[in-house]
């Protein structure tokens, strides 16, 4: 038997509040922090990762520089500069380490985060 | 315990004691060093640089532990039967082994008038102090000096005299300058290059007499020339100090010097001699390297070894009055049948000669004047087979013929200071060394005189270690190229730059680097428009991120000078926001533990009280530290606080490839530690000395003297040029020390560009700095005045005002500190 749960979407901000090439942090109702990134100015391209940097334990990933490495969209941790794949949460420098990925969508000009 | 007495505290004597202590940590020898000079052992090779700043301490050699050094008490007699020596003060020292390291004395030709007041020699610190005092007594107007002897030391003396503001005449008996090191062709070019530097050269002439005339000295030369000068310096060679050896009956050489065998032992088995007083195989060496080699031999012998003097490499490379001169191996083609190949470019001012064996297959030696860049490779090739046409060894660069370093055999010595072969360097590269710094560390090559550093770089390239200069995967250009592109094209956005000159979207390397360059080019507030997205977190929030994700705040306190009222404001802000406070090394106050939301509230209070951003978060000018100078200090000779405040206010906000730290000291006591800064200013009686390229940190460096005794206006202009040249041409994250080191020609090259204006860019550099000064605006005021920028200072985009719940504090020594997040090694 499979339990099917409806995914819950939480609106965090307007798309216009996301600076292209940067991220913001949002606080989910359950207390978790998600870092929402908008790598460029294309509206549909947004990503969500846990805001907590697994190397330092600090909730800072949303404040990292966003870019790409060999075509892979990444954020660089502002603490010690490890890169995380925005699509999978996997650390580029250490494949054993990854952060939780949150689904993110743009709906009617609003950015919404779903439960992972 | 065995007793060792060393007579002489020069470079060879000092090296011997050091080598003995290094090899014999247990201390089986008790060591007494008996010195004639009253000063601790110093670097006599660098004697001429004493004129740059008159800072003797800089020349002092590191003292050796566990050796008793008795200064200013020369030995008068040696009693070999009793194994004792007696000094001028009457002290008697017994010895089991005695080492003569008495050095040499300057030869003064016995011409009439050689002992008149105003006649000097050039050998010791006291000699230079004497010359300085004499030069100081000469009135203004025509000031000139005569240097007797045009060898290496004579040209050094000419430089010192020129730096003292005298016009030197150099008289050399041989038909050319530096007759021992260079040949006729090289000597000719050397003469021409030196004559361009206000030095008058008279070759093929000797000084016949010196007479006093109306308070000046009149020198008569053998060619009839009469020179009217203010002072005379004799530098006509040196003679070994062997008088003690003679008086105690030790064998001396035909032309002087204490005769020693291959183990540096004299005719008495318990007496050794090292350095310039020793005569090995009939030869006396006036260079430091053979002296060091002898010292190492004796240290080994004293500990029971059987080392022997390997013979001396008399190769030399030096810069005389800014002219490169190198001489190596059989420079004069004395070997039978030797052939010479010469390349002389009089226009470019470069003379190169190699000497090869009669079959043109073995390199024997050579001479380089004007351009000595080939020296490390050629010297290492001496004795090795010439790869192909000997002419290719000295063919001009770019002609396709020049022999690369690839031709060196593994046995060739690349670093002669530390005897490191190409084989050893290749091995280090093979073991993973990927840059010059690593090769230096692993092999010690390049840690002496540094002349082989270009060779190390080339060996890395030959080994296929890619020294990519690309900024990152998005830009193939170097930082300096991108800077020029931005300047030339007027592009002022990252998106346009990467679209036209790069690939992809950029990364955490190129984005902040380009943001820094845009800031240097006056592109407005660092958080304007898309620039905000490029900034590293520190520049994005204009504060320094700390380990728990909070930030620290550093208001600018120019020169470290602050009023009690402003101190109170900082104290109140810290108290009200619960911030941990600490005094920084740059004479300001760091406030820790602020969340993103608190930053604008904190800065509102600080800006209202007249504070502005201290740029502690940026790759930018940080502080200009100072001592209190003439305002309070009884030793101060200039207003160091005033100058530090002026400089800090002038350069505040300047973005640079890396952080820039500075300091101003009010006197030579140097309480502001200016020589550990990127630029450091030290007051002199008449102005300021400017030092550049210092830093603390992982690889500490002392700043080097760029100019001395300049007035305040000139000082500021030179710093303008220095900083703007650095901002434009350094690599990303390259401090000034590494930038200068990487420059072809180092500090001398830098001096050519920003002091002598050899590239003709100084006016433009000054104008660019003037633009920076005029357009400066406080970054934090800019944020507080702009609601759009202020809006970014919130922990959560969907919950303004809610602090980050992961941040918590505990108390330590009365202040709040972060609770450790306790996730070492990274969790999932």
Residues in chain A with CB shorter than 8 Å from the CB of B506 are 21, 67-68
Instruction: Give me the residues of B, 549-568, that contact A with CB < 8 A.
Output: 549
Is A65 in Cβ contact with B534 (below 8 Å)? Answer: yes
Helix (H, G, I), strand (E, B) or coil at A91: strand
Query: What stretch of H or E contains B186?
Result: helix B184-195
CA B471 to CA B482: how far, in whole Å? 9
Query: What stretch of H or E contains B234?
Result: strand B231-234
The residue-averaged pLDDT of A54-73 equals 94
Q: What is the pLDDT of residues B642-693, one digit of tens each?
A: 999 999 999 999 999 999 999 999 999 999 999 999 999 999 999 999 999 9
pLDDT band at A3 (very low <50, low <70, confident <90, very high): low
Q: Is residue B800 less than 8 Å (CB to CB) from chain A?
A: no
**B2-104+240-302: what fold?**
FAD/NAD(P)-binding domain (3.50.50)
Instruction: Give me the residues of B, 519-538, that contact A with CB < 8 A.
Output: 530, 532-538
Which residues are paired to B86 by β-bridges?
A: B77, B92
Q: Do B241 and B221 touch, CB atoms closer than 8 A?
A: no
Looking at residue A102, what is its pLDDT? 95
Q: Is residue B655 less than 8 Å (CB to CB) from chain A?
A: no
Query: What stretch of H or E contains B375?
Result: helix B375-381
For the cut 60, the answer to whether the pLDDT of residue B828 exceeds it is no
Q: Do B597 and B794 touch, CB atoms closer than 8 A?
A: yes
Q: What is the pLDDT of residues A9-48, one digit of tens each?
A: 999 999 999 999 999 999 998 889 999 999 988 777 999 9
For the cut 80, the answer to whether the pLDDT of residue B398 exceeds it is no
Q: Is residue B789 less than 8 Å (CB to CB) from chain A?
A: no
For the cut 90, the answer to whether the pLDDT of residue B407 exceeds it is no
For the cut 60, the answer to whether the pLDDT of residue B609 exceeds it is yes
Size of interface A-B (CB pairs under 8 A): 121
- Tell me which chain A residue has its CA closest to the CA of residue B820: A57
Q: Is residue A46 less than 8 Å (CB to CB) from chain B?
A: no
Looking at residue A23, what is its pLDDT? 95
Is A57 in Cβ contact with B545 (below 8 Å)? Answer: no
For the cut 90, the answer to whether the pLDDT of residue A6 exceeds it is no
Which residue of A22, A26, A31 is in closest CB contact with B798?
A26
Is A52 in Cβ contact with B798 (below 8 Å)? Answer: no
Is A36 in Cβ contact with B797 (below 8 Å)? Answer: yes
Is B822 in Cβ contact with A65 (below 8 Å)? Answer: no
Is A68 in Cβ contact with B506 (below 8 Å)? Answer: yes
Is A71 in Cβ contact with B533 (below 8 Å)? Answer: no
Looking at residue B402, what is its pLDDT? 45
Q: Do B471 and B497 touch, CB atoms closer than 8 A?
A: no
Is A58 in Cβ contact with B548 (below 8 Å)? Answer: yes
Q: What is the pLDDT of residues B168-196, one digit of tens each?
A: 999 999 999 999 889 988 999 999 888 88
Least confidently predicted of A45-59, B7-21, B24-38, B433-447? B433-447
Q: What is the pLDDT of residues B101-132, one digit of tens each?
A: 999 999 999 999 999 999 999 999 999 999 99
Looking at residue B575, what is its pLDDT? 97
For the cut 50, the answer to whether the pLDDT of residue B401 exceeds it is no
**Do the domains B2-104+240-302 and B621-775 sit in the same CATH topology, yes or no?**
no
Looking at residue B450, what is its pLDDT? 66
Which residue of A11, A13, A40 is in closest CB contact with B505?
A40
CA B716 to CA B664: how far, in whole Å? 12
CA A27 to CA A31: how far, in whole Å? 6
User: Counting Cβ atoms within 10 Å, is residue B604 exposed (0-12), middle (13-18) or buried (19+)?
Assistant: middle
User: Counting Cβ atoms within 10 Å, is residue B105 exposed (0-12), middle (13-18) or buried (19+)?
Assistant: middle
**B404-467: what fold?**
Arc Repressor Mutant, subunit A (1.10.10)
The residue-averaged pLDDT of B419-435 equals 85
Contacts of A79 (CB under 8 A, 6+ apart): A53, A55, A56, A58, A60, B545, B547, B549
Residues in chain A with CB shorter than 8 Å from the CB of B534 are 21, 65
How confident is the prediction for chain B on average, in pLDDT? Answer: 90
Q: Which CATH number fits domain B621-775: 3.30.413.10, 3.30.56.10, 3.20.20.70, 3.60.110.10?
A: 3.30.413.10
Domains observed in chain A: 16-114 (2.102.10.10)
Strand spans (E) along B402-560: 413-415, 420-421, 544-545, 551-553
CA B108 to CA B236: how far, in whole Å? 7
Looking at residue A4, what is its pLDDT? 57
CATH class of B119-236: alpha beta
CA B74 to CA B780: how far, in whole Å? 66
Instruction: Give me the residues of A, 73-112, that contact B with CB < 8 A.
Output: 73-74, 76, 78-79, 81, 83, 94, 97-98
- B622-648 b/e with 16+ CB inside 10 Å = b? bbbbbbbbbeebeebbbbbbbbbbbbb
pLDDT band at B366 (very low <50, low <70, confident <90, very high): very high
Looking at residue B23, what is its pLDDT? 85
Looking at residue B822, what is its pLDDT? 56
CA B233 to CA B473: how far, in whole Å? 60
Looking at residue B138, what is its pLDDT? 82
Which residue of A21, A58, A70 is in closest CB contact with B473?
A70
CA B716 to CA B754: how far, in whole Å? 12
Is A76 in Cβ contact with B806 (below 8 Å)? Answer: no
Looking at residue B827, what is its pLDDT? 35
Is this model's pTM higher than 0.80 or not?
no
User: Counting Cβ atoms within 10 Å, is residue B26 exposed (0-12), middle (13-18) or buried (19+)?
Assistant: exposed
Q: Do A26 and A104 touch, CB atoms closer than 8 A?
A: no
pLDDT band at B448 (very low <50, low <70, confident <90, very high): low
Which residue of B791, B797, B828 is in closest CB contact with A98?
B828
- Tell me which chain B residue has its CA closest to the CA of residue A74: B507
pLDDT band at B701 (very low <50, low <70, confident <90, very high): confident
Query: What stretch of H or E contains B727?
Result: helix B712-729
Domain boundaries along the sequence of chain B: 2-104+240-302, 119-236, 404-467, 621-775
Select from B515, B534, B716, B541 the least CA-distant residue to B613: B541
For the cut 80, the answer to whether the pLDDT of residue B823 exceeds it is no
Q: Is residue B827 less than 8 Å (CB to CB) from chain A?
A: yes
Q: Do B74 and B38 touch, CB atoms closer than 8 A?
A: no
């Amino acid at each position: 038997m499979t339990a099917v749960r409806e995914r819950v979407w939480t609106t965090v901000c307007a798309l216009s509040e996301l600076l292209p090439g940067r991220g913001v942090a949002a606080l989910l109702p359950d207390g978790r922090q998600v870092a929402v990134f908008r790598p460029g100015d294309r509206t549909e391209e947004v990503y969500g990762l846990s805001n907590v940097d697994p190397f330092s334990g600090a909730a800072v990933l949303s404040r990292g520089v966003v870019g790409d490495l060999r075509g892979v969209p990444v954020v660089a941790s502002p603490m010690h500069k490890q890169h995380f794949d925005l699509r999978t949460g996997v650390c580029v420098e250490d494949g054993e380490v990854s952060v939780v990925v949150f689904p993110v969508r743009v709906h009617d000009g609003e950015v919404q985060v779903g439960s992972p | 315990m065995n007793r060792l007495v060393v007579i002489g505290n020069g470079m060879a004597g000092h090296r011997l004691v050091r080598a003995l202590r290094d090899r014999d940590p247990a201390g089986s020898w008790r060591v007494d060093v008996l010195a004639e000079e009253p000063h601790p052992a110093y670097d006599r090779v660098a004697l001429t640089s004493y004129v740059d700043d008159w800072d003797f301490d800089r020349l002092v050699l590191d003292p050796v532990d566990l050796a008793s050094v008795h200064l200013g008490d020369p030995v008068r007699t040696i009693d070999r039967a009793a194994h004792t020596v007696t000094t001028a003060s009457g002290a008697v020292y017994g010895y089991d082994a005695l080492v003569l390291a008495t050095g040499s004395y300057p030869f003064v030709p016995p011409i009439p008038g050689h002992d008149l007041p105003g006649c000097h020699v050039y050998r010791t610190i006291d000699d230079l102090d004497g010359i300085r005092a004499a030069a100081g007594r000469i009135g203004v107007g025509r000031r000139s000096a005569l240097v007797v002897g045009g060898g290496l030391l004579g040209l050094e003396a000419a430089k010192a005299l020129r730096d003292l503001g005298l016009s030197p005449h150099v008289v050399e008996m041989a038909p050319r300058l530096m007759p021992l090191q260079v040949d006729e062709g090289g000597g000719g070019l050397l003469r021409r290059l030196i004559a361009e530097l206000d030095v008058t050269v008279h070759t093929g002439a000797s000084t016949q007499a010196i007479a006093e005339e109306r308070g000046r000295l009149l020198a008569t030369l053998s060619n009839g020339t009469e020179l009217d000068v203010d002072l005379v310096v004799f530098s006509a060679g040196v003679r070994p100090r062997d008088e003690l050896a003679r008086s105690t009956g030790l064998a001396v050489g035909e032309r002087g010097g204490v005769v020693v065998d291959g183990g540096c032992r004299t005719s008495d088995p318990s007496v050794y001699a090292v350095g310039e007083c020793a005569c090995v195989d009939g030869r006396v060496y006036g260079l430091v390297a053979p002296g060091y080699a002898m010292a190492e031999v004796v240290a080994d012998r004293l500990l029971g070894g059987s080392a022997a003097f390997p013979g001396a490499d008399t190769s030399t490379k030096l810069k005389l009055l800014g002219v490169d001169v190198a001489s190596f191996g059989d420079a004069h083609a004395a070997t039978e049948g030797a052939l010479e190949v010469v390349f002389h470019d009089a226009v470019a001012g470069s003379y190169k000669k190699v000497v090869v064996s009669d079959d043109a297959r073995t390199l024997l030696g050579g001479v380089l004047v004007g351009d000595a860049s080939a020296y490390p490779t050629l010297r290492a090739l001496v004795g090795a087979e010439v790869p192909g046409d000997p002419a290719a060894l000295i063919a001009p660069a770019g002609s396709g013929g020049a022999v690369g370093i690839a031709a060196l055999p593994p046995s060739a010595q690349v670093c002669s200071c530390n005897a490191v072969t190409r084989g050893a360097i290749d091995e280090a590269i093979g073991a993973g060394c990927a840059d010059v710094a690593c090769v230096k560390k692993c092999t010690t090559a390049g840690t002496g005189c540094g002349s082989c550093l270009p060779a190390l770089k080339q060996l890395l390239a030959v080994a296929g270690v890619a020294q990519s200069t690309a900024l990152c995967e998005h830009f193939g250009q170097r930082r300096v190229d991108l800077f020029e592109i931005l300047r030339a094209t007027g592009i002022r956005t990252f998106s346009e730059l990467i679209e036209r000159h790069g690939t992809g979207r950029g990364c955490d390397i190129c984005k902040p680097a380009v943001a820094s360059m845009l800031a240097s080019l006056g592109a407005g507030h660092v958080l304007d428009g898309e620039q905000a997205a490029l900034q590293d977190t520190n520049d994005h929030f204009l504060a320094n991120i700390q380990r728990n994700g909070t930030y620290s705040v550093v208001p600018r306190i120019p020169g470290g000078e602050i009023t009690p009222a402003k101190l109170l404001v900082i104290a109140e802000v810290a108290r009200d926001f619960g911030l941990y406070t600490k005094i920084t090394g740059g004479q300001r106050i760091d406030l820790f533990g602020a969340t993103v939301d608190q930053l604008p509230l904190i800065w509102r209070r600080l800006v209202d009280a007249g504070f502005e951003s201290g740029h502690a978060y940026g790759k930018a000018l940080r502080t200009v530290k100072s001592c209190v100078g003439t305002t309070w200090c009884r030793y101060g000779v200039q207003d160091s606080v005033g100058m530090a405040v002026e400089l800090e206010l002038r350069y505040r906000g300047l973005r640079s490839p890396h952080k820039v730290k500075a300091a101003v000291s009010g006197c030579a006591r140097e309480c502001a530690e200016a020589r550990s800064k990127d630029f450091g200013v030290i007051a002199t009686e008449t102005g300021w000395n400017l030092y550049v390229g210092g830093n603390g940190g992982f690889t500490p460096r002392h700043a080097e003297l760029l100019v001395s005794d300049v007035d305040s206006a000139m000082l500021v202009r030179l710093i303008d040029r220095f900083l703007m040249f650095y901002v434009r041409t350094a690599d990303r994250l390259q401090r000034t020390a590494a930038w200068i080191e990487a420059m072809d020609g180092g500090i001398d090259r830098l001096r050519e560009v920003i002091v002598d204006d050899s590239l003709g860019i100084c006016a433009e550099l000054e104008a660019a700095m003037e633009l920076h000064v005029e357009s400066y605006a406080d970054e934090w005021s800019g944020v507080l005045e702009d609601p759009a920028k202020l809006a970014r200072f919130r922990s959560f985009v969907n919950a303004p005002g809610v602090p980050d719940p992961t941040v918590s504090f505990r108390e330590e020594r009365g202040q709040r500190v972060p609770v450790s997040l306790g996730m070492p090694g990274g969790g999932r």
